[in-house]
Amino acid sequence: RDILNRLHINLCSINTCRTLFVDKIIMEKQTFSKEELKKKLSPLQYHVTQEKGTERPFTGKFNKIKDEGIYSCIVCGLELFSSDTKYDSGCGWPAFNDVLDKGLVKLSKDTSNGTIRTEVQCARCDAHLGHVFDDGPKPTGKRFCINSASIDFKPANSTSDK
């Protein structure tokens, strides 16, 4: 994967090429059976990612973490967010003002609970991650409000590759 990333950086310098790279190399759909997921995930992780649940605010393990690194989908491991775009929004969930690449997430209208929101899902495995709002900081103005139960964290100084 490191070689592919370096090749990508050397050959592609514009967003359209980056999106094509993401679509072709990383985005092969992954599906898991209910049984596989129930073995792999905690009950809360399963509820959040598969049943579109939400963890209680201020309870997630990544809400206050400030370490440098990458946040990935807890279900399939797809890298989604960087600590470079993480900020304390005060909402009670980890907040990011951007994703690593727009093609890594799916955005869709969510009208559950009597409100209109935009749901964020992993583009590779369709896991529910959280919601995105238009009240974030510049330059994007976005607040990706993500459940800690839907992501994992790999510190920047980690030498192992997931």
Catalytic residues: 145
| End-to-end alpha carbon distance in the chain | 10
CA 104 to chain centre: 8
Q: Report d(CA 65, CA 82) in Å as an integer.
A: 12
Question: Can you state the percent helix, strand and coil of the chain, rounding each to 5?
Answer: 30, 25, 45
